[in-house]
Every structure is written in C-alpha cells, then in structure tokens.
Amino acid sequence: MVGAGWGRRWLSTAAVVLVVVTATAAVGAEVAAAEATSRACVTQAPSEREALAAAAACRQPVAVGGTRTEYTQVLAQPDGRLRFESAVVPQRTRRSDGSWADVDLRLRAGGDGRLRPRASVADVAFSAGGDGPLVSLTREGRSLGLSWPGRLPVPRVAGDSATYSGVFPDVDLVVRATHTGFTHVLVVKTAAAAADRRVRKLTLDASGDARLERLADGSLRAVDGGTLLAQAEPAVMWDSSSPVAAKSAAEPAPSTALAAGDGARTASVATRVTGDGDLELVPDATMFDRPDATFPLFIDPSWSVARSKWAYATSNGCTNTDYSVARVGLSPDGPCDGVRFRSFFEFPTAALSGKHIESAYVQMKLQHSWSCGNTWVHMYFSSAITATMKASWSAMKLATWLDSAEGHANKAGGCSDSPQPDMIMNFERDAVTTQVQTAATKSWNTLTVGFCACNELGEWESAQDRWKKFYPAQAKLVVDYDSKPGQPNGLRVAGVACPGTGVLTTGTLTPTFSAVYPDADTGQTLTGTYEWIEVPAGGIGTVTDTYPGRLSPPAKASATANARATTAAVTVVRNKTYAYRVTAVDPAPYDQWSGWSPWCQFAVDTAVPPAPTITPGAVPWPGLPVTFTLSTPATDVVKFRYGWSSPPTTEVAATGTTSRTATVTLTVPRYGQNILWVRGVDAVGNLGNIATREILVNRPTPPVARWGLETYPGQTQAQALADKQPALSFDTPLTATGVTWADGIRLAGGQTTRFNGTSSKAVTAGPAVNTAGSFSVAAWVRVDSFTGCGNLTVASADGNVSSGFTLEYDCWADRWRMRVPDRDGGTFVEAHSNSPTAIRRWTHVAGSWDEVDKKISLYVDGVLVSSVTPPSTWLASRGDGYIANGVFAVGRSRNFSADESFFKGEIADVQVFDRVLVAQDFTGQLATDPTSGGVDAEGILAPIQVGRWDFELARPCYVQDLADTCDAGDGTPFGRWLALTRGATIGAGNGGNGLRLDGWYFPEENPEPWQATQEYGRSAAKTGLTPPDGAGNQYTTWQDRPVLRTDESFTMSAWVNLDARDGSRTAVAQRGAHESGAWLKFLSTTGKWQFIVTDEDVTGSPGASVSSLSTADEGVWTHVVGVYDASRKQIRIYVNGALEGTQSVAFTPMAAAGPFLVGRTLWRDQLTDQWVGAIDGIAAFQGAMTDAQVRALYNA
C-alpha cells in the first residue's frame, strides 16, 4: 500500500512539471498576441504591449485591460505614451469572463424577466410587475430583497428608471439604477394621495440573507454577518416648489424622482426597522399638511454598495439631497438659499506609486452656471474627505491652491444664448502636476482636490455669479506618467553572466556586453549607454565616475523593457582586467534615468578550455531537482566544475571522444531566476572559461501535510489536529496522546498544544512523506527547559527500529539539530545550530534532506545556520534512500523500536514538504522583485492575523455603552470588539467607512460651544447587557481583552489620516497596567512616525523606539506598520509599504496584558496622545512581518 501511494504522488509531480512555460516562451506568446491585436482595432487589450501596438496601428487610445478597475484605467496612446485616468464614480464593471464593460445603467429584461441595468457595479434587479420583490441586490453571493406591500403593475421603463404607475391612488413608484446601487422613490401627486395612511407609514418587506439596521443619524445598512451589502443615506422627501422669480439666473428645472429642484422644500423621512426586520418609512407629516404644499412630493432612500468618493460641504451645515451634481459657490435658492457650497473629489492614485509624472490635469464637466458669461472657480489640494455625502466644512481644509478656470453653462433661459451647452473645464497648471508627483513619490493611494468659488486669498466666495454645478460622474484626473526604469541587471560578457564579485574570464578578444533593462512600462523601448575601463592597479575600489579614463564605448544598445540588449563587440587584449557598467534611459519626452549598474570585471584567457554549453532539462519548481547536460568540443577537458554561484566548485567527470559531456542533477536553490555556472578543467588542471545558464522556475509547491496544533474561536481541537492539506498527499490527521492545550501561550485568546516531556505525542496513522527522496519539516516551537532534559524531538518519521529523521533540540548541547540516518537503526548525521537556544521563546525551526545534493540543512527563524554533507561511507550505506514507512510523529522520536526523546514545551504549525526548502520559503518575495519570476509569495513564516477592524459595520457613540452602539467588530475569528467611547464617530475611511476621533462631541450636529470628549477605542468582549433603565435603555457590559503577545514577535498596522500636527498622536497601542507595551504614533517634535516598545510594566520604564525617515503628511491617508522581531532583537517601522527605520532592542519587551487601544496610549499611568483625525484598516498579527509581507499588506 505504501509503495502504491508513493507511486501516485510521483506521477502527479511529474505530470505537473510538464506544464511549466519558460519566460522566453511567455514573452514570445505576448509578442505574437501584440502583433495579432495590432491587426484589429479594439478598445482594450490584455497587456500594455498589446494595447500600445493596437493604439499605434489604429491611431486611437486603447485601454490596458490588466490595469483597469471600477475607477481607474491606463490608456495606451498612439504616440506610445501611457495615460492614467482616475474617477470618483464607477466608470466600468467587470464581466463574468473577467473583461471590463463601461457602466451602462439602461434597464432591460433578463432571462428571468426582471429588469437589470446593462452594466453596473451593483448586481441589482427590479420587478417586471407582479408579486415578487420590488428590488433585489446580490453581492458576493449574499442577497437583499425589498418588496412592495401589494401586487405591482407592469412598469414603464425609460433609461435607468422603471415607473410603477398607480401603486396607490395618485401615487407612482419609481426605481432607478445608480452608479453604485439603486433608489426607490414614491411620487405623491395630490393632497388626497398624501392623506392616504398607507403613504404616511409605508412598510417594505425585507428578504434575503441580509438584515437591515438603522443608525442613530437615520442612515440604513444591509448586513449579513460581518459583511456590509449596502448602505443608505438618511431618507428625505422634497416637494415641487419653484425657484424665486427674482433669481431667474438659477436653473428653473422642476423637482423629479431623480432629485429635488433648486427651489424645493425638503424634510427628513423617519425610518425604522420593525421587529420582523422590515423597513418602515414615515414621511414628515408637516410637509404633507402644508396649505401651500406643491405637488408632486417625492419620498426616497438611496442605496449604495460603495462609499462615495466625492462629497460636499456647506458653510452652515445645510443638507443637500441631490447628488446628481456637485455644487460650488453661493446657492441662489432652495433649502440652502444663501449658503456657500464646496465640493471635494477623492481620486484613487495607488497605481501611480513611484512613477514619474510628466503632466497632470483635472477635468470637470460644468452642467450649469448662474452667470451667462465666464466666471471663475478655483481648485485646491485638500485634506481627505471626512464624511459622505456631507463633509465637515471646518475639517475639509483647502490646503494648497492649484489652479483656476473660467466657465459658463447657464440653463436658466435668462441669457441671450440660453440654454447654454455643458462645458469642459480643465485645471492644468504646473502646480497640479507637482501635486500629483508628490502623491506618486510618497505612495499616496488617493489625492483629494476641492473646488471653491474663492480665490487663493479667500475672496469672492459669496459672489453670486460664481455659482456652478458639475457632473461628479464625469470628474476625471488625467495623468501622463512614466515608470522609472530599474537599475540594469543580468550583466553578461560574451553571453556569460557576470559574478557578484571577482573577475570573469572569457575566451574571446572581441566580447560583447549585454544587460536587461527592467521597467514596469512593458511596452517601452529603453536605450542603454555602456562605459568600460581598464581596471587600475589599485583595483575596482579605486574607480570613480571620472577615474580612470573611459575607453571608447560601444554604440548604445536598445531593448524593449525587461528584455536583454547586447552591444557590438569591443576589442580587448590579454593579461589585462577590464570592467564595464550600463545605464538605461526611457524614451523622450520622459528621459528617466535608471542609474548605473554595478561594475562587471572581466579578463581574457584564450589558452584555457572554452566555455562549455549548458542544456537544461524540464524546469521544475524551487527545491526540486533539475538535470543539465554539460558539453564542450575541447577534447582535453577531463571534468567540469559547476554550481549555483561563482566560481563553481562541484566536480563531475567528462566523458566522450569527439566531444566531452556530463550530466548533472541539482536542486533548484531559489524562487524565480536561477543561474548555473559551469567551466571545464583540462588534464593539467587549467580552469576553463565560465559559461552560465539562466532558468526561471515557477511558484513553489505547498507542503504535502500541515497541522495547526492551535485552537481559537472557530478552530476546534479536532481541526487543530487535522491535516490542512489532505488533497496533496495522504490525508494524515494527528492523534494526540497526553497532550494538553496551553492558554494564550502563542496567541492571545488561543490555545496551543503542550507536550509534557515524558509521554505526550501526536502521531498519524501512516507515513506523511517519502524519506527516500528530498523532504523538509518545519514548526514553531517553544522549549520549556529543565535539568537533564536530553533530546527534545519536535518531529520525526518512524522506521521499524529508529526514526527516518528527527528535528529536535539537544538540551545537553543547547542547540537545534536536524538528524538523518543512513538506514533503519543506522548512523545519524546532523546539521546543528551553534548559538544558544532562547528558552521559553517561540522559535521557528526547519530541517531539510536534499537527496540530490546529499545535504542536511537546518534553518532557525528562517536563517540557514548549518548545511552538512555526510561522509562517503554514510552515503554508500544509504544508497538509493531509506524509506521510513511508519507514522509521522510530533513530540517524540523512535529508537530501538521504542518511543523516546519526548518534547517538553509547545509546538505549533508543523509543515512537511516533499522537497528542499529554500531561502524564499521563509522570507517570501514580491512579484515586482527583479529576479522573482513574477511570483508573489508570503513565505512560511507569515504571521497569524489576530485582529482586524475595518469599521464598515462600526457604530458611532452618542451615549456611552448604549446597547447596539459604540462598537466596531473584529474581522478575524477571534471576534474581539472595539469598545468606543462617547463622541467617537464613523465617517469616511480609506475606501469605506473609518473611525473618526476629534475630541469633540459631534461638532457637525451640535451648536457651539462644543463638548470636549476623550475619544478612543479598546479591545473587549461583550459580556451582556444591563437591566433596562427608567427609559427602557440597556447598556453593554464589557470585559477588556488583549490582542497581542507583545513579548513575542508581532506586527501592528493602521491606515491613518492625521488632522493636526500640533501634538503627539497615538494611532494604535497595547497597554499594560502602567505603560503600553507597544504603540505606533505621530511624534510632534520631529514631525515623523514612531514605533515604540517598552521594557517592563512599571511606571517610567525605559523603551526602544524607531522613527520614520519621511515626515507625516497632514490630511492624507498613510499606511504605518510597526514590527517587533524577537529572533533578530529588532524593531522596524514601515510607511506606505516601504521600510523606513530599524533599531536594535536589548531587552525582551513587556507582556502587555491590557487591551489593544485605538487613538490613545498609556504612558506613565496616564492615557495620553489622543488621536485627532481618522483611522481605518487596523490589523494586528502575531509574528514579525517581512518586507515583502508588509508591502503586500499595503497593496491589499
């Protein structure tokens, strides 16, 4: 049975290898596709190269499909440029086949008869009449339905709207598809209709997965578990009053179901979620009963699946209910008559991170102006939007004046040429480009601009003739950008790769130079400039930009981005050492420079064997074997030296008569690009010139078995012992004996397996890995030391007599080791660490046996600490390998057919691989790394997320601890809430909702003087409700809960938006009794971000801190991450995905047992550093994130 099982696995691996495509083939396929695309005129193409080819051939812009989102896209231009466009309203939606379609809200009947928009980001359907739901919304498999209390007539469809006439006498119902959702508006045509009790209290039946919630401000949301399906602004109603005649320059359009007219009166509509979960709407009776009520009246709520990326602000807090246009200037009529409006637009810019901005402008489409002729409007760089749709006038700061433009589009009829057409207005001064460049350089994910009638001196905002309305759906940021080329890499001389150090020898007196020009703009052609020198006697270290003099350079060499360019040959002489370097530049007009590559040194030797030929076999994944054939026509070569580094040292005999050949099999040592170095050696020992061969491998194979060995909410002990990879090999669950579960030893709120050192073990029913081939095992372990402990085995595989390997702690020698025997009951050889083991600290250990290279390797905390090749006698005894065909065991090994070496301590996350582990298995990598092969990988040291708060379903705090308010749910299984204090509100976040803390009790809703508040959040569990008070109110009771073990490796992060730099502000922390154990903050004295850890939980305890290189930006969303890395005794800080500081830590930080804090820290027994601004996307991880993992978190 075992043999049959291994056979199935090997067949599977071999079959998978056959599908690998080399990089060269992939590039060739893309070129072929680009040529095919260029022959057909299309509006979008999958890749940049294909889009550029099509744009040039068809002389029209072509969208790059791979860059498109709902709000942004890149357009390839016929002249070879790339143009980025960003909007604030969804412009396109992804089809089921992965392609993109422009938003088209016109309704049509689907296969089920229901009415749907042709293309919308909201999957919404309306009734075609009858008894079904009026409207249904589906999102990520979850649904919301709203039904009319009666049978609906067949609707009249016009564009994006469907009108159900006469749902009550003189009452119509209008539903409309919007860019982000839908509206349902009741149109009450007469006073008699307004008197109908069914109109005065209307109930819509709710159905589907979602339940409805009403918030304190009257807004609504549909929620399924922890997922927000849609949300609605507070419902409003409006009448059909006309504008005052004296203000005839204002647009006289009447009220409609789309929006209130400028002269309309408005009122709030009360909403309630009934006990059955249905939606009840109660219009304002006073508007119905007014003697001068102007019919029809309109009653709505508007539902959306996405937070708006634009907002308005009014000088006195007046609320506007028409979101079809963005208003700027002094309102001439309506409920906000005489009130100043500003409008703000938050353009997504993440795709511009690190780019060169050649030019940029903002394009607006003017729908109406009060004036008949041109009047001014001004555009400013603004702080990020605080709330939607109405933002805070005081918080929305006009930070930097960027540009102004004149325009007019009067529709009132009072002008000689009325109605005037809409007008495009572009804001394109150099200051706009400069501001966008700042956003790109600092990796801002959004750029917010505000429009005001006021000039840069604050003048003219009350000038009536500057009143304007713009279309939000047609606001656009347009950017001509260029990706800066990376430093040239992959340097070669005469086709042979340059070593990282030392001097390459070549056998030709006329070598060529070549290099790869990396650039994210894959369709561009870059030009390389090569300079070369004769290396002076003092060596390469004495070379400067001017010394020694440069030799006559070869002609410049061009290549498509990420491709290789090769120069014409140069002439050299023997017995001299030369060096060259290369720089690449983008095409005009960008002319962005890559910087110089490192020097490549080389010399000529024509008297030694020539560089051999290297032919690879099938290219596998990292950690698996690949076979190469080495050959040379030089018949005096007796052997080859080969290896994955230069100079190569491993030898193999060369055979043959007319040519000399050898076949070697090696284990691929890294992800992505790998280079094999080979040279021939002749009979008298002359070392030949080196040849190289690059291979590009695909993403790594996952473990064949994995056991978590930890419980937490939603993860039972049975699940912790189950194999997480049952489909990849055998399904091998563990059966535990004598194992207990330790509370909070690795994860706060979790349990980890504890082994007692005498009898505890966890074993499978059969083998987990074939020990006759290459294999690896890895685990997180925590040793509980005691005198005379002997060997403590983490993992092993049973043979009949002894283990087939043991990964263990040698207590006597105080070191980790990986031991492998030559045969069952035979001799063990080990690779071991040399540094003392940290007792009672979590350590990651991993061991590998490489059957191909015959090496035992040991990794501690992701670092290779030992690699050992057994002696030849051992290898001869092992032969073709030893299969330990017994059970896989955690916590003990086997010797003389008996269990022994029981582990004492805790073990978690055991992983088994049927291959060798390589460096990137631990560190991970980004697809953007030059040698990555385009693969993102987080690595097996990826920390565990133990807290996530995105505030999508958070509830503001008007009354401290009032039930069903003042909270934000945790997005992880740990389910720890954030308990919010009085005054904390929920506003616009980094893409969705976010937490807003300003130290005042809802200043936008209350008159001055405002009440000062102490606003923050803390992690806690809900333990119940108080009995009802005299008013029937109940209050949540809380129990504080920690989130992180701050004495072990951890990561804390948040998206933050700082309103003011006039004091130090803490974003996130975890507190103890007297001090916080760790916190992330803005430090006002330096203007920078800072991450701090504390030594002990005593008042005034010293700590260690690390600060960012960059200064903090006010009013801009910024991603800040703090990492404590226990294995390296180091703290790190990252800003917007980039590492900006490291600092050694001489102590083990305190174990902060208190709650996780948001917006405050505990320092010297005082809560201090109150945050002023917004916070979103908070994440806490147990474990130290790597650079690649932090970057991936920022990009997520």
Radius of gyration for the alpha carbons in the chain, expressed in angstroms and rounded: 35
Whether residue 589 has pLDDT greater than 80? yes
Q: What is the mean pLDDT of residues 171-194?
A: 97
Whether residue 29 has pLDDT greater than 70? no
Whether residue 1157 has pLDDT greater than 60? yes
Q: Are 446 and 351 in contact (CB under 8 A)?
A: no
Coil, strand or helix at 640: strand
Are 972 and 1107 contained in the same domain? yes
Task: Give the integer Cα–Cα distance in Å for 31 and 888.
Answer: 49
Are 433 and 395 contained in the same domain? yes
Q: What is the mean pLDDT of residues 233-252?
A: 72
Task: Specify the number of domains making up the chain.
Answer: 7
Identify the sign of the CA torsion 460, 464, 465, 469.
positive
Round the average pLDDT of the chain to a whole number and report it. Answer: 93
Confidence of residue 1 (pLDDT cuts 50, 70, 90): very low
Quick check: is 116 in a domain?
no
Q: What are phi and psi of 381, to 5 degrees?
A: -70, 130
pLDDT of residue 1106: 99
pLDDT of residue 249: 53
Are 39 and 183 contained in the same domain? no
pLDDT of residue 244: 61
Are 468 and 506 contained in the same domain? no
Q: What is the mean pLDDT of residues 306-328?
A: 94
List the CATH number of the domain containing 620. Answer: 2.60.40.650
pLDDT tens by residue, 495-532: 999 999 999 999 999 999 999 999 999 999 999 999 99
Confidence of residue 38 (pLDDT cuts 50, 70, 90): very low
DSSP-assigned states of every residue in 1136-1176:
TTEEEEEEE-SSPPP---S-EEES-EEETTEEE----EEEE
Quick check: is 1003 in a domain?
yes
Amino acid identity for residue 1121 in this structure:
V
Whether residue 7 has pLDDT greater than 80? no
Q: Which residues of 208-240 are buried (b: 16+ CB within 10 A; e: fewer)?
A: bbbebbbbbebbbbbbbeebbbbbbbbbbbbbb
Quick check: is 990 in a domain?
yes
Q: What is the mean pLDDT of residues 575-587?
A: 97
Domain span at residue 255? 122-304
Quick check: is 331 in a domain?
yes
- The pTM of this model reads 0.92
pLDDT of residue 728: 73
Are 364 and 458 contained in the same domain? yes
Whether residue 620 has pLDDT greater than 90? no
List the CATH number of the domain containing 495. Answer: 2.60.40.10
Q: Are 695 and 713 in contact (CB under 8 A)?
A: no
Quick check: is 111 in a domain?
no
Whether residue 10 has pLDDT greater than 80? no
Whether residue 9 has pLDDT greater than 70? no
Q: What is the mean pLDDT of residues 96-123?
A: 95
List the CATH number of the domain containing 316. Answer: 2.60.120
Are 165 and 278 contained in the same domain? yes
Q: Which residues of 707-740 are buried (b: 16+ CB within 10 A; e: fewer)?
A: bbbbbbeeeeeeebbbbbbeebbbebbbebeebe
pLDDT tens by residue, 703-729: 999 999 999 999 999 999 999 988 776
Return the percentage of the chain with pLDDT > 90, whole number.
86
Are 342 and 469 contained in the same domain? yes
Whether residue 601 has pLDDT greater than 80? yes
Quick check: is 292 in a domain?
yes
Domain boundary among 425, 458, 482: 482
Confidence of residue 938 (pLDDT cuts 50, 70, 90): confident
Quick check: is 374 in a domain?
yes
Are 1004 and 913 contained in the same domain? no
pLDDT of residue 788: 63
Return the percentage of the chain with pLDDT > 70, whole number.
95
> Do the bridges between strand 564-566 and strand 557-560 make them parallel or antiparallel, or are there none, so unpaired?
unpaired
Are 766 and 892 contained in the same domain? yes
Are 220 and 361 contained in the same domain? no
Domain boundary among 271, 304, 337: 304
Confidence of residue 242 (pLDDT cuts 50, 70, 90): confident
> Do the bridges between strand 503-506 and strand 600-604 make them parallel or antiparallel, or are there none, so unpaired?
parallel
pLDDT of residue 226: 86
Confidence of residue 6 (pLDDT cuts 50, 70, 90): very low
Confidence of residue 637 (pLDDT cuts 50, 70, 90): very high
User: Cα separations (Å) of 328 from 314, 367, 376, 450, 466?
Assistant: 10, 12, 11, 10, 8
pLDDT of residue 136: 97
Confidence of residue 20 (pLDDT cuts 50, 70, 90): very low
pLDDT of residue 787: 59
Domain boundary among 581, 606, 631: 606
Q: Are 597 and 645 in contact (CB under 8 A)?
A: no
Task: Give the integer Cα–Cα distance in Å for 37 and 59.
Answer: 13
Are 166 and 262 contained in the same domain? yes
Whether residue 982 has pLDDT greater than 50? yes
Quick check: is 751 in a domain?
yes
Task: Give the integer Cα–Cα distance in Å for 261 and 298.
Answer: 11
pLDDT tens by residue, 544-576: 999 999 999 999 999 999 999 999 999 999 999
Amino acid identity for residue 839 in this structure:
I
H or E element in which residue 123 lies = strand 123-126
pLDDT of residue 13: 32
Whether residue 251 has pLDDT greater than 70? no
Are 1085 and 995 contained in the same domain? yes
Task: Give the integer Cα–Cα distance in Å for 191 and 168.
Answer: 13
Closest CA to 500 of 931, 916, 935: 931
pLDDT tens by residue, 160-169: 999 999 999 9
pLDDT tens by residue, 731-781: 899 999 999 999 999 999 999 999 999 999 999 999 999 999 999 999 999
Crossing angle of helices 23-38 and 48-58, in 10° steps, is 20
Which residues does residue 662 pair with via DSSP β-bridges, in sequence order?
630
